């Protein structure tokens, strides 16, 4: 088991627990396309030929009719179980799953029996009867077998939640474990690249992550000997680049009626501070009700957006922010790139943008801020507060009078020790220098936070930058803690 699996420590812990269990187990796993769900299950449960364990896998085929799906099931049955009996193609899913149960019973298997149904949203097409048959299969047979581990998997997170985790029929409360697979962290990305014999400096990995995030299949496109700028130029700005048209494929594969989802993503890509639910409705010209709720839940569960409740605000004031690096990069750069850029060979376009574009400076600051929010656990550890209860959010103040100054705090950590860490996040290629004007801005943020919220908590100012601070009178008098990008790579040794 666990062959060639990079990172995924908590996920491997869940799978190991299910494998050791003396009870029947039913796992639902979901996560966006290209995230590595199938790879994780196949490689973790890869069985030894001399083992008493068995492994069965069938994968749904997109937009295929019921007859094709059942034919695929029969092929998988022959391939994985090599039945001695003649295999007849089933007419419906009840027959197919009953055949599977009978074969397992006939074998009197003593070891674990792993049954993996991949991309079940495609298996469970309209009028297919798959979900009803799966209900019956689990409730009447699998739930009575102590050695069964039934795993269902799907890329469409909202579908999985609605039809499996929150199913109102026979599957209700039957799932014994769930797993949402997210992109790699920076440490996992570093480990993955090293497994491919690709060695990059931490700053280079951050630069790569800013554009494509930690999606394993995207990272798999990186070639040894390339700089991040070369790699991004090749896979994002050449005619046949792997990520040139991935955006539309991604959302169509994940969501029915994907236009609404793309509208929300596009609106959030334009707003660094994020948008409230009502602002999203207004910007996207969507109607309130179940539709927007479904869209926001689907995007959040799939890891494209995150919901934050700003400090000292109520749940109705929640802010939604785009946190998917590739989507933000695509909408800002790939979609808007001049047609002449998409040539057959890399042109150096991205390197040129990173060196001379003001738009790049604005974009990269927000993108780095998003990475830091994703790695808030690592940041808390760097601040020395990982052992205490805390809540990470942001904070903003819109002036109500003409003579007032508005302010926004990138990251605010409300701590159980009656303190607040006011974290400022700055992306630079060298040590960050606090000037007099920026020192005044920091003081204003701290003072505004105290005055507007009325908090009596002690406020510590922390600066998070790739290369640290240039020491001067302002840094010494204002900054309580400084963190570099090293804290984002806790396992990189």
Closest Cα partner for 126 from 65, 74, 67?
65
- Is the CATH code 3.30.1480.10 the one for domain 9-180? no
Name the residue with tokens 């998409």: 342
> Who contacts 54 (Cβ-Cβ below 8 Å, separation ≥6)?
47, 80, 81, 104, 107, 109, 111, 112, 113, 114
Closest Cα partner for 188 from 6, 326, 13, 323?
6
| Angle, in degrees to the nearest 10, between helices 202-212 and 228-236 | 20
CB 151 within 8 A of CB 29: yes
What is the three-class DSSP state of 393? strand
| pLDDT for res 48 | 55
What pLDDT, in 10s, does the model give residues 421-465? 999 999 999 999 999 999 999 999 999 999 999 999 999 999 999
| pLDDT for res 492 | 62
- Is the CATH code 3.40.1160.10 the one for domain 376-488? no
| pLDDT for res 9 | 92
CB 369 within 8 A of CB 464: no
What is the three-class DSSP state of 398? coil
Question: Which residue ranges of the chain lie beneath pLDDT 50?
Answer: 493
Domain boundaries defined on the chain:
9-180, 184-374, 376-488
| pLDDT for res 414 | 96
């Amino acid at each position: 088991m666990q062959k060639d699996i990079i990172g995924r420590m908590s996920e491997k812990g869940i799978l190991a627990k299910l494998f050791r269990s003396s009870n029947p187990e039913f796992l639902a796993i979901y996560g966006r396309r290209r995230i590595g769900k199938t790879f994780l299950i196949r490689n973790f449960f890869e069985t030894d030929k001399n083992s008493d364990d068995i492994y069965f896998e069938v994968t749904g085929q997109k937009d295929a009719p019921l007859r094709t799906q059942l034919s695929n099931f029969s092929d998988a049955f022959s391939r994985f179980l090599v039945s001695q009996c003649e295999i007849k193609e089933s007419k419906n899913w009840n027959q197919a799953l009953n055949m599977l149960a009978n074969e397992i019973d006939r074998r009197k298997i003593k070891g674990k029996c792993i049954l993996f149904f991949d991309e079940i949203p495609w298996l469970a097409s309209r009028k297919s009867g798959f979900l009803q048959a799966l209900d019956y299969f689990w409730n009447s047979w699998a739930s009575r077998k102590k050695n069964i581990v039934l795993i269902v998997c799907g890329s469409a997170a909202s579908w999985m939640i609605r039809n499996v985790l929150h199913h109102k029929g026979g599957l209700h409360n039957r799932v014994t474990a769930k797993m949402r697979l997210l992109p790699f962290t920076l440490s996992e990305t570093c480990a993955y690249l090293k497994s491919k014999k690709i060695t990059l400096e931490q700053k280079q990995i951050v630069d790569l992550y800013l554009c494509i995030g930690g999606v394993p299949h995207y990272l798999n496109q990186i070639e040894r000997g390339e700089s991040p700028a070369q790699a991004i130029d090749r896979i994002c700005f050449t005619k046949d680049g792997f990520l040139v048209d991935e955006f539309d494929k991604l959302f169509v594969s994940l969501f029915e009626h994907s236009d609404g989802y793309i509208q929300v993503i596009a609106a959030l890509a334009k707003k660094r501070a994020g948008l409230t639910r009502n602002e999203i409705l207004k910007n996207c010209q969507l109607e309130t009700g179940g539709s927007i709720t479904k869209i926001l839940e689907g995007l959040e569960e799939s890891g494209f957006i995150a919901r934050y409740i700003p400090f000292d605000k109520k749940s109705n004031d929640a802010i939604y922010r785009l946190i998917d690096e590739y989507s933000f990069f695509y909408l800002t750069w790939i979609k808007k790139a001049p047609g002449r850029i998409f040539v057959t060979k890399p042109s150096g376009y991205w390197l040129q943008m990173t060196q001379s574009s003001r738009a790049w400076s604005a974009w990269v600051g927000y993108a780095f801020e998003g990475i830091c929010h994703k790695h808030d656990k690592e940041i808390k550890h760097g601040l020395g507060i990982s052992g205490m209860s805390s809540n990470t959010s942001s904070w903003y103040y819109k002036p109500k009078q003409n003579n007032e100054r508005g302010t926004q705090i990138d990251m605010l950590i409300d701590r159980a020790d009656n303190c607040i860490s006011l974290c400022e996040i700055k992306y630079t290629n060298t040590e960050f220098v606090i000037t007099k004007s920026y020192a005044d801005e920091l003081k204003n943020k701290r003072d505004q936070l105290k005055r507007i919220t009325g908090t009596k908590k002690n406020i510590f100012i922390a600066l998070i930058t790739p290369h640290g601070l240039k020491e001067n009178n302002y840094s010494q008098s204002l900054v309580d803690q400084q963190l570099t990008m090293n804290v984002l790579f806790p396992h990189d040794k």
